[in-house]
Structure 1
Amino acid sequence: MKKLEKTKEYAIRKHKEANHKYDEYDYDFHLNMVFEIAKKFIHLVEPTEQENVFAGCWVHDIIEDARETYNDVKKETNETIAELAYALTNEKGRNRAERANEKYYKGIRETKNASFIKFCDRIANVTHSKNNRSRMFDKYKDENENFIANIYIPECQEISEHLKELFKEKH
């Protein structure tokens, strides 16, 4: 089985086992949104890294939400994908600010392609909250300037502009 398909199945299975939901949906709804957004912007990623990035989209929350470890992810996928999942895992904290702190953002910026996946994740969350008129939309809007400043790398210019545009459109 190809790495990407195997990683997708692994991520869906582990989120189901953890009974992790995305609003009323099974969590693979969110993971698929992140993957689809990545497909739209994959030209920003070097061709030799695209398969690992797509796989990283599927496991970006697996350590944080499905009780998997770095070594579990590495065993099921490869070291590059495990590094992406690890970099995208929030820190321990009592609130959003403590969980998404400078150490977390530094790890994202310093892990090749992690900023790209994090932008895809945020675009998925913003789009979903906007479409469902969720209170999270305003939270994401308030955080957006700081969020972009914290994970921005030059390779993500186009995708960061897309995220900014989502807040300009009528909600």
Structure 2
Amino acid sequence: MNNRYLKARTLARAKHEGQKYGDVPYYIHLEAVSRLASPFGTDAMIVAQLHDVIEDTETSLDELAADFGFTVADAVGYITDGDVTSRQKRKAELHRRLEALDTTEESARIALIVKACDRLANVRASRHNREHYFHQYQQEHTDFKRAVYREGLCEAIWWELDNLLYKPSKSG
């Protein structure tokens, strides 16, 4: 494994120490997102590990830039939710920001890939044991896809995401 990736994983685990993702330690979610991002390169895997560190901890983008470079820090910044308390308003703000991203910029490309990977990991996790969240993701999918999807960027992620959300099944 790449040393930068190991550093990101170690930092994310330390920063999210004690935080839960449902009934499991938060790093389980970060690992799931990172696995999905792995075909897209080391920086995508690093961003996957760090994607929630700004909104969930006292970490700053400057710290991430110092440790991992501006591409990673910018990508994490692009996908970090704002401070608005209403989920609907927070997601609308995030979607406006993501919709404006230009994939010719490496950090924007990585941000969009990791955001799709994050959503797929969340949908997979919620499909069988967190039905409320699954239905929430179904309701948000059209707006989410309008903001994040770019043709040819990570089609396999979107194929699975669309299929899970449009063809739900309790039996798998």
Does TM-score exceed 0.5, indicating one fold? yes
The correspondence of residues 82-161 of structure 1 with structure 2, limited to 5 A, is: 82-102=73-93, 104-109=94-99, 110=101, 111-154=108-151, 155-161=153-159
Aligned sequence identity (%): 27
Residues 35-88 of structure 1 show CA distances to partners (whole Å, capped at 9, x for unaligned) of 12223xx2xx4xxxx111110100000000122110111122221111111111
Contact residue 91 and residue 98 of structure 1 kept, 8 A: no
Which range moves more in the overlay, 27-36 or 152-161? 152-161
Corresponding residue for residue 2 of structure 1: 3
Which residue identity lines up with residue 13 of structure 1 in the other structure? A
Contact residue 30 and residue 49 of structure 2 kept, 8 A: yes
Separation in 1, partners of 2:58, 2:82: 14
Separation in 2, partners of 1:106, 1:53: 22
> Structure 1-normalised TM-score?
0.86
Corresponding residue for residue 29 of structure 1: 28
Separation in 2, partners of 1:69, 1:163: 31
**Any idea what SS the aligned residue of 1:112 has?**
helix
Separation in 2, partners of 1:98, 1:130: 24
Cα drift, residue 101 of structure 1:
2.1
Which range moves more in the overlay, 21-30 or 156-165? 156-165
Cα drift, residue 169 of structure 1:
3.8
Gaps of 5+ in 1: none
Which residue identity lines up with residue 85 of structure 1 in the other structure? V
Number of equivalenced pairs: 160
